Every structure is written in structure tokens, then in C-alpha cells.
Structure 1
Amino acid sequence: MDPRSEVLLRQAELFTGQVLLAGLPADDLLAALPDAIGWSWHAGEQATLQARFPERSRFGTTPPETPFETAVLFLPKSRELTDYLLQALAARLAGKSLYLVGEKRAGVERAAKQLATYGTPRKLDSARHCQLWQVQVEQAPAVPVLEDLAQRYELPLADGPLQVVTLPGVFSHGRLDAGSALLLEHLDDLPAGPLLDFGCGAGVLGAVLKRRYPASPLLMLDVDAFALASSRLTLAANGLDAELIAGDGIHAAPTGLAAIVSNPPFHQGVHTDYQASETLLRDAARFLRPGGELRLVANSFLKYPPLIEQHLGPCATLAERQGFRIYRARRSS
């Protein structure tokens, strides 16, 4: 059981009836609270919850329409995302209780101050290096429009400016990160055929790929519902189209790809996690057609070339700058 869930269950009498668990972990909490429903924006956790508790959790960027009498927010990493989620929940809870649970090292005490917008926050419990806070929603806000919270910027490129739209909680919100900037300079000569932007985030790489290779079908995959929503907005802002896939890793992608392009993710919550990236390197050959190519950017301290060469083929370093390297490898035909 996740320690945040354990803290919640220490006060189980507060969570009977119609409770919405927002951002819940994929553990046994729904079994312990049989009348609760979940709301997840993490595709992997949602898949686990759906398999174990069919129809009891929803995936997306807005709360489910199912009625609820109280809600618990499991603290996310981003303060901007926390603001949006609290507002979205408080808008449905006028005169009712809204709870916040999170790890101390994730900043739950700081985040609890954000509850003061809606009433007087109270700390109810502290255990397992976590805290549980509650607020009675006295000032219910208007329902937030997620797109109104987007940050937009223009990326100057050789073939014309690209409009980028990012939402709260999405990697590199409101700016282009150094790794992606380097990779954008090294997207030439990709094989013709279906292209996958793995870990698409705000959709910068995918949008550039679609504009540069318009005849190649584009797929964009991410574990996070807010990232997929950002990619959808970025594509629309540039008059482009792609197939968006919600999935926890490369195994959610189709086979027969001509190329996989990625600034692979390695953070999950407050923890550093390389699993999705390393699984991509180990299994990319299964999803690439013969002659298909993996091209990615990674921190130069990560020992990726031996892993790539073991599972895919010879790995070339195309560029290095600001602590990042561009790697290319092809599946043998």
C-alpha cells in the first residue's frame, strides 16, 4: 500500500460514501473504500486500476462527471498543476470538504497553503513521512477552463515559426528545454514511414517531424493526459495532425515503425525513474521495421550507448552540447 493511502486509511471514517480520489496510486485503496471512485491522468496507473477495479477510475484532464460528496487530491509534482486540480475539485464541492495528501519531501506543507484560497486549511494527520490536510470549501471557484491556463510561445525554425502550447504539469512548461533544442537540430534523413514521438510532452518534436515529413504518418505517445492534451493543442495551432496514444512505455506503440524519436522521460512524481527510457532502449527493435531508426537525446552521463548496442545495433553519437548527446541506431534489415 502506498504510504499516502495508508495515511488516508488512518482516517477512513472521513471517506465513506461518494469520494473522488484524484491522482490516486495504483494500489488497494479502492478495495478499502468500496464507494470511492478514482480520477487518474497517468495512463499506466489507470490501466492497472481499470484491470483490478473495472469502471471505478477515469482517465483524463478533467474530473469525472460522476457525482461525489468529497474529494482527495494526491499531491502532484507541479505547483501549477496543483492549482488547477484544486480549483477543478473545489468548484464541485461548495460547502463540502476537500482533502490534500502528500509526502513531506514533495512539499505537501507548501501545497497546503494553496488550500487557503477556498477556506481555512487544517492538518489532520502526519505519518509515513506524509501529511493529510482538509479544507471546508467556503469560497467555491468557477470551473476552470484548462486551455485558459496554457502557456504559448513561438519557436523560430528554418522552415518557419512553430507555435507551441503547454499546459500545467507538462515537462518544460512554457519553454523549450535544452535537450529537445539539440535534437531539433538533428532530425534529418529519417527513414520514410510511420514516425513515433515517444514521450511527446507538449508535442514540439512531433509537430516538427510532421511538418518536415508530411507524407509519413505520425504517432505521439505519452503516459500523461496533460501532455497529450498539450500535444493536441500544439498540433492544432500549427494545422497538423497525428495519432495520439496514451500509454505507459513503448509497449503501447504499434510495430512496423520507420523511426522512433525521443527526448525520453526519466521523472515520475518526485522520484527519478529511468525505467521507461531503459525499456525503450531494450525493446525498440521489436517496434521498428528492418532498417528503422532510433534517434534520441539523453543526458551525457547516462550510459545508454552500451544498452542500445546490446539490443539494437551500433550506436553513433551525432552531437553533444550542454550535457546532452544525440544518439542514432538502426535495426539491421
Structure 2
Amino acid sequence: MTQLETTLENSRFGIPISEQLATNASLDLTASRILCLTSGRGQTAIHLADRLKDARVVCHVLEAFAASETAELIDECDSNVLLDCSADLPEEEFDLCVLPMSRSGETGLTRDWLQQAYDRLAMNGILVVTIDQKKETWFHHELEKFGKNLTRIPKRKGVVYKLKKLKPLKKLKDFSSEFAFRDREQLIKAVSRPGVFSHRRLDLGARALMESMEIEEGDRVLDIGCGAGVVGLAAAKRASDVSVHFVDSNPRALECALAGAELNGISDVDATLSHDGAIGSEDDDMQGQFDVVLGNPPYYSHFQIAEIFLQSGLKALRPGGRIQIVTKNEEWLQARMEQLFDEATTTECRGYAIVSAIQRGS
């Protein structure tokens, strides 16, 4: 076992099946410009950079928390992999694109990645796609749209596909969408893309939060985990001189939120990409300056993400500022917000619980 293999083996990060397949499928390939996605934490990219010392190897990750952990592993392995966390794959040519993927992933996002990766390939470049299901056929059908010279290699735990780019795409499909919703008397338009929470529709939890939120003239609003920004957009339209700051760990989400603001003529908006809810340093002028914090945290992760939302709100709110979080698990949230804030109360709306509280020190 090499030193790199030992480091990866002893790392705290697991290696998913599709990532293992991608690493093995790349062992006999050479290229000078390489792009990898990752279903793990960049292990395939790290292996390629170690073997092909002079190659430019880029690892793309569409989520800031995963990117921070990937960066940790890259540093641990003393690798020269270039990490990219952005809304789209880098706008440059590559000779090899390696995509470890899962059939359980979001269909629209998967199609988007396949199209972008093929588009970024130079002519005669190689696309490698690995799947963690042995009997799958969906990827075969999708990849054949790019060319019939597709090679399918069944493996014990999945499938490896290899495709050489022999012709450019005739047209790139736009996977983004716009949808509209009403908040009181306002018709609001939103922009969404695959990979962004509640793509193409208004989430019912977000609707419940909108109907319960209290926005006053001149409020400075923080929309944590904003997704497409629907809650923040509605807040900006509720009263005059309202400013909104969007925070999310997904750069696509922030792109959509800002595009939605432009679509609705909302100019006093800003955005921060953050994997831990932070919107600035401890002495940043945004700390303790917000009047309202709004959040719709996901229900997985055993409240870890909800805790991030609360800690972010605790730092961001001015004394007397208001925080409102929508949830289906109000027992934990109510108890935790009672510990951190004053006047924590729970109300019901559309089958959801809205837990509201006031920042201490007023």
C-alpha cells in the first residue's frame, strides 16, 4: 500500500462505491487537463493528481460543506488538486472528465452534469461515468445521446461507462426554470435550477414561514439556507426599505436567489456562500445588525443543520431582533430556542410549526 493509499484508508472520510469505481476506472488513463466530480471527498481526483504529476486536476463540488471537507482531505494528502465550488463546471477545456454518480441522485442535476462535462471535453477527450448500481440502464440511455461509441463495463458493485467525444453538442439544454407565487397581494417570480432546494416549486414549509413572518419597514432580514430565495424575496416585498441577505451552502442557490431579486426589481440584496452559517468575522459589521432571521432547515442530520441556523441567528440578530424557524419537529426546536433566546413560542401553520423568539439584550 502506498503512502497515499494509507492516508486515504486512515482518513475519516468514507469512499462511496461510485468513487471507488471511478478511481479504478481511471488507472489506465492519461491526460493533462482533468476534471472530476466526486461522490466522496475528491478521492479520485487525488489519485489522478498523484499518478499524473504534471496534470492539471480540478475537483468540482456543488456544496460548501462538502467542499470544506474535500479541501481538508486534499491538504491531508498534500495533493495539488484544484478545488472548485461554484454553480457550474469550470468554463475550460479538459481531456478527461470523471463523474462518480448515483442513480438515486436528482435526475435534473445528473442530466445537467452529464451535459456540462461532455461540453467541457476537448475533441477526442474521454468521459468516464461510474454508477453504484449494476443493473441500471438510465445512464446508458442518457449517455448514448452524446454518441453511440459508448462502452459499458459491468462491475461487481456497479457500472463504468466510457465515451470519447467525437462531435460537439448541437445545443445546450437550459435546465433552469422560473415559477411564480403569491404572497398576500404580491405576485413574486423565482428562479430555480437543479440541485437547488425545492426546484421548480414553492416548498410548503417556505409558504408556512412566509404566512407567519413579521416584516416591518426598514427591517434588515437574514434568510438562512435560502435555497432559491423565495422567503427572502417575499420579505423584501412586504414593506418599504427592507434589505435581505441570503445565506446558503450551495452556490447555485445564491445565484438563483440573486437572479430572483433582479427579476422582481429588488435591489437591496446581498449573499454569502457559507457551509457553517457564518456571514462574516466576529468583528464584521453584519454581526448583531439584523432585525429578522428566517430559516427553513432540512430535517435530516439530527438537527445539526438546524443548530447551525440557530447559532448563525444568534450572532446576526441585534438585541430585540426576531428569529422565526419553520419545522416539523417543534419539540427539539422549541426547547433549544428557549435556551438561546427569549420569548420562544410555537404556532401552527399549514401543518408546520413556526418557532419564533426574540434576541436577548433588548
TM-score higher than 0.5: yes
When the two structures are superposed, what TM-score results if normalisation uses the length of structure 1? Answer: 0.85
Q: Is the 8 Å Cα contact of residues 293 and 323 (structure 2) preserved in structure 1?
A: yes
Distance 1:197 1:74, change over 3 A: farther
CA shift, 1:58, in A, is: 2.0
CA shift, 1:150, in A, is: 2.2
Q: Counterpart of 2:60 in 1: which secondary structure?
A: strand
1:33 to 48, 52, 55: 48
Which residue of structure 2 aligns with residue 19 of structure 1? 34
Q: In the comparison of the two structures, how many residue pairs are matched?
A: 324
Alignment map for 1:47-66 (pairs within 5 Å): 47-50=68-71, 52=75, 56-66=82-92
CA shift, 1:179, in A, is: 0.8
CA shift, 1:212, in A, is: 1.9
Which residue of structure 1 aligns with residue 277 of structure 2? 250
Gaps of 5+ in 2: 1-13, 50-54, 281-285
CA shift, 1:24, in A, is: 5.6
Distance 1:233 1:116, change over 3 A: same
Q: Is the 8 Å Cα contact of residues 316 and 329 (structure 1) preserved in structure 2?
A: yes
**For 1:231 and 1:122, how far apart are their aligned partners in 2?**
40
**Do residues 2 (structure 1) and 43 (structure 2) align?**
no
Cα deviation digits, residues 258-303 of structure 1 (max 9, x gap) = 2210111346xxxx67422232235532332221222011124763
Q: Counterpart of 1:96 in 2: which secondary structure?
A: strand
Distance 1:31 1:300, change over 3 A: closer
Alignment map for 1:124-273 (pairs within 5 Å): 124=153, 126=155, 130-142=158-170, 144=172, 148-189=174-215, 193-241=219-267, 242-252=269-279, 254-256=286-288, 257-266=290-299
Cα deviation digits, residues 230-279 of structure 1 (max 9, x gap) = 11221111011311111113124542132210111346xxxx67422232
CA shift, 1:169, in A, is: 2.2
Q: Counterpart of 1:155 in 2: which secondary structure?
A: strand
2:107 to 62, 68, 79: 79
**For 2:136 and 2:304, how far apart are their aligned partners in 1?**
26
Counterpart code for 2:48: L
When the two structures are superposed, what TM-score results if normalisation uses the length of structure 2? Answer: 0.78
Which residue of structure 2 aligns with residue 321 of structure 1? 350
Distance 1:133 1:191, change over 3 A: farther
CA shift, 1:74, in A, is: 3.4
RMSD: 2.9
Q: Is the 8 Å Cα contact of residues 196 and 228 (structure 2) preserved in structure 1?
A: yes
Q: Counterpart of 2:306 in 1: which secondary structure?
A: helix
Distance 1:166 1:62, change over 3 A: same
Higher Cα radius of gyration: 2
CA shift, 1:125, in A, is: 5.4
**For 1:104 and 1:249, how far apart are their aligned partners in 2?**
33
Q: Counterpart of 1:289 in 2: which secondary structure?
A: strand
Q: Is the 8 Å Cα contact of residues 294 and 329 (structure 1) preserved in structure 2?
A: yes
